[in-house]
Structure 1
Amino acid sequence: MLIAVLAGLIVSILYIPFGKYLRGRLAILVALLPITLFAYFISFIPAIQDGRHVHSHHPWVPSLGINFDFHLDGLSLLFSLLITGVGSLVFLYAAPYLKGHRYLDRFYGYLSLFMAAMLGVVLADNVLLLFIFWELTSISSFFLIGFNNGNGASRKSSLIALGVTGGGGFLLMAGLILMGHLSGSYSIQEMLGSNEFLKSHTLYGLILILVFAGAFTKSAQFPFHFWLPGAMKAPTPVSAYLHSATMVKAGIYLLARLQPVLGGTDYWMYPLVVIGGITMLYSAFHSIFRTDLKSILAYSTIAALGMLVFLIGIGTAESLLAASVFILVHALYKASLFLTAGVIDHETGTRDVTQLSGLRKVLMPLSVAGILAALSSAGLPLTFGFIGKDLIYEATLQTTGFWMIALTTLALLTNGLLLCAGFMAGIKPFTGNLPDSFAQVHLPNGLMWGAPLLLAILGIILGCAPWLVDDALLNPAAYVMHQSAIDSPLKIWHGFNLVLLLSGVTLALGTLLYIVRKPSAASLASIERYNNLAPKHIIGSLARYARKISIRYTRTLHNGYLRVYLLRIIIFAILLLAFRLFTGGPIKLTFDTLSPISIYEVVVVGILIAAIYITVTAPSRLTAVVATSVIGYCICLLFVFYSAPDLAMTQFTIDTLTVVLFVLVLFRLPPFLNFANRGVRIRDGIVASAFGLVIALVAIQVLNQPVDGTVSKFYGDNAYLLAKGKNVVNVILVDFRGLDTMFEIVVLSIAAVGVVSLLKLRLKASEKE
């Protein structure tokens, strides 16, 4: 499974040197990757149907508890088939849709990377590995949403999507680490044995908040839903793939996967039912006011995601089976509708439903795809959507009392609104009279209308023969969520009962609403009057306020002057050290342990003080540099006095090199310093004196502490034995602390590259401005 997961990543890297060869007719060949992976995962259906699971273990960073552990069961197989199956059609669809695009190879690279990330999310058994792939989906989707980077709206939408999902991902990381720490393992399968411990722990509520934050932001739950309609600026293949079948369902997958670990409590159920219920009704209501095809589908997608969260929150066997069925139902009809909308936009140049009509006369196969997908979304009998809708009503009717009435009513209203939205997107553009402006419209490449038609027909086939995916795919997925056998075969007909009545009411309500409701710019404007109360505006206002604070903070503390940074660092160090000194017990000022002061030391210190005075008062830069070098050489002499010739030589070399570099740099600068005003110099003098005093007190305190020679004895005894070196200091730097030294060298190398780049930089006049 490791190769299957990383295949998309490997292919995306190969696009860098070889992508230019796949911009023409060969672009269609890239679909071989998802098709091959789809066939690979289909081969596991017999094993999953028999109740077996497939596990793969590859050590990665075992010291941190991170391994490439993959686990394939009913739930991950369902998502893997959606990712690779819908992905195959999207890859094929994109070749003619983006034909001739200068960045087609780049698009396929992003798409392959995203597919790899999604497979990693649904197959990972290690929560830390899951999080890594989770963030990779956010990064790759950022590039896909902003693919049309010449468009400012696309760039803004990609940034908003990354900001919302990335922020949720940060909180999710904390929740997953907390779960692993408390349960003693980062393996999801092993966490199942600690579920009761986690639920009874005092931090259980915090874990839920963090996990919900990650799931709700990724799956566009209210009030974080606003990023998804904005993401419709992406090309249609992206919308069909990311926003109907894969990325937005990552949050759904996370909740479904953690249902047996964290679910089964009121703290789990109520937030999911309430947030999911608000999301699905709010978004379904908004969908019928939109006039842009992709906007209609975006809001109806958010409503469907809310429905899935709602079903997982109920947490019964019936609701979890309904969720697993609806995941597949929604992926089939929504991907078909998105791809249909893309063809309409591609051929007519508009997605405005108020202008689209009669396209069946020129796009007949596409009209069949759109109508069949719309009927499946409506839940018409003999469609897969009908089975999914019935299961939703069965799940709500299994609750009792007030909850049964409230949840069933909520589901009924949402389904009625979604039916209307589905008809607006899938039927309205093809019915009525064909405008003269569309008379020249013709069918595009067969791959563009064949992909949505195939998905729509599959929705009908599964509606007539649900046993094809019943025991093979959907019941195993529900079993993983419920952790008990669910023997509930999907049926076309359940007899005359309350569920059938509710389905009929849904069809009547939604159809009546579609007939009565006429989308228009006026109706859209009527609801947009309240945008100031919408979460997007409120959160956007908070973001703008935070940006203003950040700008003020940056201008105050990070104004670009090195002297200001040094001043603040030193002041902070003074306060921190002084606080520790005066709260850590009495300060010892005894000097009994110090060696006698020699005349050589007095002379050297006198020279050092004089050099410091010259450095801070010299009117010439060159004089200040020379005086600074004298300070360094005085320190070299002190090292010699205290029997540290190796340190003295090191200090001497560094000082000499520094002086040479300073002189070379200052050669091109003005010869005189620009002195600061008297107040600034007094301030700097006070800070410098205070810092010196604190460091002196720290040094005296250290000298008054009993000497523990354990570490130095270890280095002295083992320098030659372990590292074959007689110079202990060199051995410490190169061998015992070799990793530190390596990173120091890397930092210096990077700095050197930066300096050379700046020295070699030659800006144009316009760039200098």
Structure 2
Amino acid sequence: MLTLIFLTFVLGFGILLLKKPVQTKFVALISLLPFSIFLYLLSFLRSVKDGVNSVLYRSEWIPSLGINLDSKIDGLSLLFGLLISGIGTLVYLYATSYLRGHPLLHRFLSYLTIFMGAMLGVVTSDNLITLFIFWELTSISSFFLIGFNNEQEESRASALWALAITGLGGFFLLSFGVIVGAITSTYTISDLLTQSDVLKDSPFYLLIIVFLFLAAFTKSAQFPFHFWLPGAMKAPTPVSAYLHSATMVKAGVYLLARFTPILGGTMEWSTILLVVGGITMTYGAFHSVFRKDMKGILAYSTISALGLLVFLLGIGTEIALYAMAVFVLAHALYKAAFFLITGIVDHALHTRDITKLRGLKKYFPLLTVAAVIAALSSAGIPLTFGFIGKELIYESGLHYIDYNLSLVLVGALFFTNVFLTGSGFLIGIKPFFGTPIKDYCISHKPDWRLIAPPVVLGFFTLLLGILPVIAYKEIILATFSAMNGAVVEMPLAIWHGVNTSLLLSGATIVLGTAVYFGFKCWNSSMNVVERFEGIAPKNIIAFIVEKFRQLAFRYTWVFHNGYLRSYLAVIIVFFIGLVGYKLFADVPLSVNTVGLSEFRTYELVVFLITVVAVVFAINTASRLTAIAATGVVGYCICLIFVFYGAPDLGMTQFAIDTLTTVLFLLVMFKLPAFLKLGNSKIQFRDAIIAISFGILISIITLQALVSPADKDISRYYAENVYTLAKGKNVVNVILVDFRGFDTMIEGIVLSIAALGVFSMLKYKDDEE
């Protein structure tokens, strides 16, 4: 599996080099990439469909730290993997027509491929650290996808918001992984299944699940982090269909589902998920019917669906977990179809305003069929897969252990489903039926690559709705077992008799239809909703961000004002305060001058020369004299190194001082006139800082002479420098071998700096 993901990344970057081939009529063949992954993942169905077995791949990366590139394929990861690759195939095919002729199509397909590889890595990783790495790659690649139309300011702003919010979640995911690893001494997710009690009994349990929740909530657009998702609708429609139906936004749901058998089942776990999921699903469903833009409706209905999934995980019963698995699949099928249909309408008519769309079945008969099927599935009409999911959702609320709370849960689910039904009809019914408002001018007639994906999704929605046993036996049972930790048979069926769930489904359809027909009334109430925009989470967070930016500006102005003397003063004062406090608070000071060698004549001479050079450097009005004086100070220090048995260090210092002095002299004539400005207050301040620093260093030096020296480290290097590194110069071996990575990274930094300077020089030449 790791090889497959690696090859996906390689192909993703390789597509950037294929600009001309991508612009040919054979570009649709690129959809064979996700399709081949889909076929490969299908081969695992037999291995995991009984819900007991899983396929593990072990690959060491940094074994000393417990960080490995392990992969695990069970029912949960396979369900998400099939959605990523299956819907990805349709999105690739769709995108090659939707963006046909776009000069940056190759770049778009490259981003999409990298994102697909990152998502596959997220859902198959069996190591917390590698999971975090892939998690962050999804945020970065989605940033490029959402901001693909980078000439538009709104697209750039939306991409930045998405990256900021999901990147914040990545920080909490890393924190979660580090804490869990410290408690259990393992980062392997499979091994954590046996450490469930250890984590739940830990005093850090609440902190652990809060970090996990923050990571999941930011990625899956839970309240109050939901606002980045409507903004992400500025992305091209293929991006919206892929990211917001089956992949990125469901990564947070996957994360919660993966850790449900490990951390779930507690009051804290259930309460937080029920509250956040409940607020999100009702808020999103209610807001979805106030929007006129088709993508806006889909954005808020997606937020609601994500909240519903989190809500089901909060309920946590066996029926709820089954409902969650079914709804993940059902929602992906009809929501991806909705997005793709919206893109076709927008592409052809250059509008997504549903108040201006009606009677499109005359122009798009096949597309109308796909739209109606998606709408029926979102409403939970029998013989669609959405009906199976809605039945289970209501069963989850009805069979909750607390009867009084059960009524509240069912009420929230009923409210949500009513408005989701109405918003689904607004997308799948309203634009296609009725008398056309005008004789539409179809600017872009959709070809088979645009029509086929929503039709295929509609076909599978009906197939699984009529024969739900296919989904149950092949994937749903295995997905449930991965979340539940045990196999419990609960076959899916179309008919369970007349019961409360069926009656609730019927009432949902009736009231949802009423919401749909009352759309004009609801839409006119949008002004009421807009009155509360000032306290919307987005505006509150934007206010906090702005205040933080102002604070950062003031901080920068004070501590990074462009004056080198200020930087040095801040650094030295901080050092004096920190080291001085620890020295006088924790160290028993004992100055003993016994044993100190007497001043030798040549040492006294060098010391006096140093003092004279310093005085000259401070008081001279000549830049040349100041440079020469600082050079003399450097050479005197070199001599001191030599006097006290460090000739190699002295030679290094000599070379550096010589080079520095020469460079100063070379640029001296390009510098502005040498000014000697005097300010008694600043001079007094600097004198106090300098004297304090000198006294502190002197005390530390004298204290070091009487403090016991720990020779273990130096003894280790002395004993192993030849046996381990085959070198005789201890300093050189430390730099090259024992600190090899540090030296290598320093070399990389210098190389990057050199490339940057070269690029700037080259750019200047081009301008000239």
Pairwise TM-score range, normalised by the shorter structure: over 0.9
Root-mean-square deviation (CA), in Å? 2.0
Mean Cα displacement is larger for which, 633-642 or 514-523? 514-523
Contact 2:289 2:522 in 1 (8 A): no
State the alpha-carbon separation in 1 of the partners of residues 718 and 498 from structure 2: 90
What 5-or-longer segments of structure 2 have no aligned partner? none
Does residue 21 of structure 1 match 2:28? no
State the alpha-carbon separation in 2 of the partners of residues 385 and 262 from structure 1: 29
Shift of residue 32 of structure 1?
Answer: 1.1
Letter in 2 for 1:9: F
State the alpha-carbon separation in 2 of the partners of residues 282 and 725 from structure 1: 68
Mean Cα displacement is larger for which, 355-364 or 750-759? 750-759
Contact 2:288 2:423 in 1 (8 A): yes
Contact 2:348 2:442 in 1 (8 A): no
Does residue 215 of structure 1 match 2:240? no
State the alpha-carbon separation in 1 of the partners of residues 723 and 413 from structure 2: 75
Shift of residue 138 of structure 1?
Answer: 0.7
Contact 2:169 2:216 in 1 (8 A): yes
Shift of residue 499 of structure 1?
Answer: 1.3
Q: TM-score, normalised by structure 2?
A: 0.96
State the alpha-carbon separation in 2 of the partners of residues 509 and 579 from structure 1: 70
Aligned to 1:705: 707
Deviations 1:230-272 (A, max 9, x none): 1000000000000111111001101111110011111111111
Matches within 5 A, 1:60-71: 60-71=61-72
Aligned to 1:500: 502
Mean Cα displacement is larger for which, 684-693 or 189-198? 684-693
Aligned to 1:49: 49
Shift of residue 146 of structure 1?
Answer: 0.5
Contact 2:347 2:444 in 1 (8 A): no
Deviations 1:55-84 (A, max 9, x none): 101111112211111111111111110000
Shift of residue 547 of structure 1?
Answer: 1.4
State the alpha-carbon separation in 2 of the partners of residues 314 and 247 from structure 1: 23
State the alpha-carbon separation in 2 of the partners of residues 457 and 338 from structure 1: 16
State the alpha-carbon separation in 2 of the partners of residues 760 and 706 from structure 1: 56
Shift of residue 736 of structure 1?
Answer: 4.5
Letter in 1 for 2:248: M
Does residue 436 of structure 1 match 2:438? yes
Shift of residue 648 of structure 1?
Answer: 2.5
Shift of residue 186 of structure 1?
Answer: 1.1
Mean Cα displacement is larger for which, 756-765 or 78-87? 756-765
State the alpha-carbon separation in 2 of the partners of residues 307 and 728 from structure 1: 63
Shift of residue 441 of structure 1?
Answer: 5.8
Contact 1:74 1:479 in 2 (8 A): yes
Q: TM-score, normalised by structure 1?
A: 0.96
Number of residue pairs the alignment of both structures matches: 766
Equivalent of 2:576, from 574, 577, 585?
A: 574
Letter in 2 for 1:619: A
Shift of residue 746 of structure 1?
Answer: 4.3
Shift of residue 187 of structure 1?
Answer: 1.2
Shift of residue 670 of structure 1?
Answer: 3.0
Shift of residue 189 of structure 1?
Answer: 1.2
Letter in 2 for 1:355: K
Deviations 1:357-386 (A, max 9, x none): 111111111111111110111111111111
Matched residue of 2:70: which SS?
strand
Matches within 5 A, 1:729-744: 729-744=731-746
Percent of counterpart pairs with the same letter?
Answer: 51
State the alpha-carbon separation in 2 of the partners of residues 601 and 398 from structure 1: 90
Deviations 1:580-604 (A, max 9, x none): 2211244222211211111211111
Distance 1:745 1:478, change over 3 A: closer
Matches within 5 A, 1:527-546: 527-546=529-548
Contact 2:349 2:441 in 1 (8 A): no
Matches within 5 A, 1:230-241: 230-241=231-242
State the alpha-carbon separation in 2 of the partners of residues 144 and 560 from structure 1: 37
Distance 1:760 1:13, change over 3 A: closer
Aligned to 1:457: 459
Matched residue of 2:56: which SS?
strand
State the alpha-carbon separation in 1 of the partners of residues 552 and 636 from structure 2: 44
State the alpha-carbon separation in 2 of the partners of residues 665 and 82 from structure 1: 62
Distance 1:746 1:697, change over 3 A: farther
Matched residue of 1:55: which SS?
strand
Deviations 1:514-571 (A, max 9, x none): 1122278643233212111221121221111111111111111122333222211111
Matched residue of 1:125: which SS?
coil
Aligned to 1:625: 627
Mean Cα displacement is larger for which, 195-204 or 718-727? 718-727
Aligned to 2:511: 509
Shift of residue 496 of structure 1?
Answer: 1.3
Letter in 2 for 1:7: L
Aligned to 2:167: 166
Deviations 1:210-231 (A, max 9, x none): 1110111111111111111110
Aligned to 1:274: 275
Contact 1:621 1:673 in 2 (8 A): no
Contact 2:67 2:130 in 1 (8 A): yes
Matched residue of 2:58: which SS?
strand
State the alpha-carbon separation in 1 of the partners of residues 761 and 85 from structure 2: 50
Distance 1:639 1:515, change over 3 A: closer
Letter in 2 for 1:117: A
Matched residue of 1:225: which SS?
coil
What 5-or-longer segments of structure 1 have no aligned partner? none
State the alpha-carbon separation in 2 of the partners of residues 572 and 440 from structure 1: 69
State the alpha-carbon separation in 2 of the partners of residues 408 and 722 from structure 1: 68
Matches within 5 A, 1:563-602: 563-602=565-604
Deviations 1:501-520 (A, max 9, x none): 11111111111121122278
Aligned to 1:121: 122
Matches within 5 A, 1:218-297: 218-297=219-298
Contact 1:590 1:704 in 2 (8 A): yes
Shift of residue 49 of structure 1?
Answer: 1.8
Shift of residue 743 of structure 1?
Answer: 4.0
State the alpha-carbon separation in 1 of the partners of residues 735 and 533 from structure 2: 62
Shift of residue 52 of structure 1?
Answer: 2.4
